[in-house]
């Protein structure tokens, strides 16, 4: 394999490993629909606890998938890595044995 292809595949694998959890996938899905959401808004929309949601958001932020911006007392998250949406869309369109 050529070096460019290897790098591309490694990047895709990194993104997939980072979002490979139902809550993280749900967060990415929400952020595809809403350009920016606070932790409390995400918790309300998903019906999840703030501590667990914050943990998953922080994990994805540290790995470069999400961006975070503080506004007053709230932290707002947005998708930083736009390739995530394309990868998820590709997987959703897959005609696998599901």
DSSP state for residue 21 in the 8-state scheme: S
pLDDT digits (tens, 9 = 90+) for 60-78: 999 999 999 999 999 999 9
Question: Residue 63's domain is classified under what CATH number?
Answer: 1.10.10.10
Segments forming the whole domain that contains residue 54:
3-92
The C-alpha atoms of residue 5 and residue 95 are separated, in whole angstroms, by 24
Q: How many domains does the chain have?
A: 1
Asked whether residue 66 is assigned to any structural domain, the reply reads yes
Asked whether residue 58 is assigned to any structural domain, the reply reads yes
Average pLDDT, rounded, for the chain: 90
Q: What is the pTM of this model?
A: 0.84
pLDDT of residue 93: 77
Structure tokens at 79: 């998708």
- Give CB contacts under 8 A, 24+ apart, made by 60-65: 60/18, 60/19, 60/24, 60/27, 60/28, 63/14, 63/18, 65/15, 65/18, 65/19, 65/28
């Amino acid at each position: 394999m050529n070096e460019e292809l290897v790098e591309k595949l490694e990047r895709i694998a990194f993104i997939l490993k980072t979002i490979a959890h139902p809550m993280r996938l749900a967060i990415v899905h929400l952020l595809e629909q809403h350009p920016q959401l606070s932790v409390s808004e995400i918790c309300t929309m998903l019906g999840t606890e703030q501590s667990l949601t914050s943990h998953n958001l922080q994990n994805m932020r540290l790995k470069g998938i999400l961006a975070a911006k503080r506004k007053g007392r709230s932290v707002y998250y947005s998708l930083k890595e736009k390739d995530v949406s394309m990868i998820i869309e590709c997987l959703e369109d897959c005609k696998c044995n599901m």
